Amino acid sequence: MGVMDRFRAASRTWANTIVTFESPPRMREVGGQGKGDAQGTTKQVTREDQFKIRLAHNDERSRDAKFFVEKRYGEAGYHGERGQQTHNSCPDSITLATYHGDHVIGTMTLGFDVGNGLMADALYKAEIDVLRARGGSVAEITKFALDTKMTSKRFLASMFNVAYIYCRKIWQYTDLIIEVNPSHAPFYKRMLGFTEIAGERMCPRVNAPAVLLWVHADDIDKKVAEVAGHHELAKQDRTLYPYFFDAQEEARITDRLLRAEAR
């Protein structure tokens, strides 16, 4: 059984809710102690302002994520090859889905470069090969979609923080890439420190232009160490990183995911 197969098998033994967060920004890990009203208890409390990031590990959650991506991409005018938007289009990947109640309000797929290539190789293989040639291990973010009515910095930071935990803390990847519409590139540069490493090309998956952005995990590590969990620094540091989990919370989440993978 491969490492990804072991991870998926292990994930079925726990609730598949990676973290629960609330608005205003109070955070606690499901099944453990944390901040806010549930401090000192292990009982799960349902709140109207509560959001859950879950692993889309089964058919139902994969279908929820797929339909949400197609809906949001369609609203944005992206009408590519629908068959390539499914969860199974890249087997060396996991999909994260953020729920508000029973409704998906955000999705993100993480692709891992384990020898079968990445989706971004279709347009940018030469540029990604440069990262590989210098010893980098490359992961990619794809199928990132949001319900913009529910979006906040805390919401976005939580999704990217979980992605960072998987890519860096769980699998030790060194380079993270993402293909985005050129009009969206300033957000990723400003809020997460990405750099554009390849210019505009037409992406057939969504029938829209794309650019390739990259960030080294060392740079994320530095920002996380400096400001993660310090919301009071958000006025000076206008990235998403002050809204990342604090070190203690991140360690608890990472430990639980590592124990799940080990099983």
pLDDT digits (tens, 9 = 90+) for 199-239: 999 988 888 999 999 999 999 999 999 999 999 999 999 99
pLDDT of residue 98: 87
Task: Quote the CA–CA distance of 200 and 211 in Å, as a whole number.
Answer: 5
pLDDT of residue 216: 98
The first and second tokens of residue 135, run together, are 């010893």
The first and second tokens of residue 23, run together, are 């608005």
pLDDT of residue 10: 44
Give 229-249 pLDDT, tens digit per residue.
999 999 999 999 999 999 999
Domains with residue ranges and CATH for the chain: 3-262 (3.40.630.30)
Task: Quote the CA–CA distance of 48 and 78 in Å, as a whole number.
Answer: 32
Task: Quote the CA–CA distance of 256 and 142 in Å, as a whole number.
Answer: 25
pLDDT of residue 88: 31
Show the low-confidence residues of the chain (pLDDT under 50).
Answer: 1, 7, 9-15, 24-47, 58, 61, 65, 79-91
pLDDT of residue 248: 94
pLDDT of residue 69: 53
